[in-house]
């Protein structure tokens, strides 16, 4: 392999001693670090994917209170699980952990597997999560290669490989294994996490406070911000929707449920109709009014009606409530929200009326919460 590690064993030993001493002194006090329970470590690691630590903590407490064991997680109704995950996003994570919990119950008699091979076979557990669980819960000398480790290690050795390429993981695995403490692999993996989060940050790293300063080649050469090497992600695709917040005389709103597969699977939200950008932009300007108008029924032949919803027996407010935006990993949603009322008692197609008091029983995506916020904001005016 190119760029073989040139550190002597003495240097590696000194690196481990200093790094672990720093970690034991400054490590973050996090609820999943109170013990080495693999179940708790697993849930925290899945929640932390694409999500900030301070956001995860409250979710973690609630989740562990609701599902304190693997058995209870495996047996939980999916709707209940999604409700507990509501707001964290990337809902496939929640479905995967339940699938993995069922695997553990069926294949391992409810006991979390304790080998790298068996852990990696669980649904939704990739190389990073395998390394984190194996090292932290079971003390196995397995690196947990995430963005923090790649950033720190790339600066330690000035590694030129692009971290956005999957093939580069082997390079970082090689370097990290060479310096990982065999006695405290879990502690060292967590030290990398904490260092990358607080000091060895992507921009403006605080090198003067870094315990690894003496070992860092990038620091010695003064080119810290050149690493890690990373190509830019493709920009998310913009998609446009009209949303219908339809309320009946009982104060219930009409909701539709997503399909069983795909983005936001089985989640509930206001009816959505996809439109092109030109239609979206035209409606945004046409129905944008400074004053709040009373509800008024617009005749079908008039071009002002929100055309995509003209088949519904609804009296529409003659202005939209605003644009709601939400960014997914590969998509950016633009949602133009319309509000209307109906006296129709029967159900429309493909959904159901839900009373506000019953919301706790349904799983709603973040975009739906944003639409509620927009309604609340308009009601204050």
What one-character DSSP code corresponds to residue 162? B
Exactly one of 4, 10, 45, 252 is catalytic; name it: 45
Count, residues in the chain: 381
60 beta partners: none
CB 264 within 8 A of CB 285: no
d(CA 146, CA 154): 12
Q: Is the peptide bond before 228 cis (omega within 30 degrees of 0)?
A: yes
Strands 237-248, 331-342: pairing is: parallel
Residue 4 is among the residues annotated as catalytic for this protein? no
Name residue, tokens 């790298």. 116
274 and 240 Cβ atoms separated by less than 8 Å? yes
d(CA 86, CA 100): 19
Q: Shortest CA distance to 152 belongs to which of 183, 187, 179, 182?
A: 179
Strands annotated E in the chain: 237-248, 253-257, 268-269, 272-275, 315-316, 322-327, 331-342, 352-354
Specify burial of residue 191 (Cβ count, 10 A radius: 0-12, 13-18, 19+): buried
- DSSP 3-state of 248: strand
Q: Are 148 and 128 in contact (CB under 8 A)?
A: no
Question: What is the rounded distance in angstroms from the CA atom of residue 264 to the CA atom of residue 91?
Answer: 7
Question: Which positions are catalytic?
Answer: 45
């Amino acid at each position: 392999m190119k760029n073989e590690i040139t550190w002597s064993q003495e240097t590696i030993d000194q690196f481990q001693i200093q790094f672990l001493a720093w970690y034991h002194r400054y490590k973050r006090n996090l609820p999943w670090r109170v013990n080495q329970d693999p179940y708790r470590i697993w849930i925290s690691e899945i929640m932390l994917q694409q999500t900030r630590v301070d956001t995860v903590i409250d979710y973690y407490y609630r989740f562990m209170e609701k599902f304190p064991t693997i058995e209870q997680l495996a047996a939980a109704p999916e709707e209940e699980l999604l409700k507990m995950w509501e707001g964290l996003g990337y809902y496939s994570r929640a479905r995967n952990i339940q699938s993995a919990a069922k695997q553990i119950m069926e294949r391992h008699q409810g006991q979390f597997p304790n080998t790298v091979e068996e852990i990696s076979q669980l649904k939704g557990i990739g190389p990073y999560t395998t390394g984190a669980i194996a090292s932290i819960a079971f003390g196995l000398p397995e690196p947990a290669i995430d963005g923090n480790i790649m950033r720190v290690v790339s600066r330690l050795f000035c590694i030129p490989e692009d971290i956005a390429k999957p093939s580069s993981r082997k390079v970082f695995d090689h370097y990290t294994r060479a310096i990982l403490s065999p006695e405290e692999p879990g502690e060292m993996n967590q030290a990398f996490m904490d260092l990358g989060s607080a000091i060895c940050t992507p921009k403006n790293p605080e090198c003067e406070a870094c315990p690894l300063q003496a070992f860092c080649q990038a620091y010695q050469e003064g080119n810290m911000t050149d690493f890690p090497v990373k190509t830019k992600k493709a920009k998310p695709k913009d998609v446009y929707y009209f949303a219908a917040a339809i309320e009946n005389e009982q104060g219930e709103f009409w909701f539709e449920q997503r399909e069983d597969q795909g983005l936001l699977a089985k989640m509930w939200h206001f009816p959505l109709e996809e439109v092109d950008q030109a239609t979206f932009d035209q409606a945004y300007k046409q129905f944008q009014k400074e004053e709040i108008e009373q509800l008024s029924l617009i005749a079908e032949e008039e071009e002002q009606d929100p055309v995509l919803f003209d088949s519904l027996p609804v009296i529409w407010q003659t202005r939209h409530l605003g644009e709601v935006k939400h960014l997914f990993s590969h998509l950016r949603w633009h949602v133009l929200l319309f509000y209307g009322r109906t006296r129709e008692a029967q159900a429309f197609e493909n959904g159901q009326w839900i009373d506000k008091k019953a919301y706790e029983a349904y799983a709603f995506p973040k975009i739906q919460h944003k639409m509620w916020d927009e309604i609340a904001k308009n009601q204050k005016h």
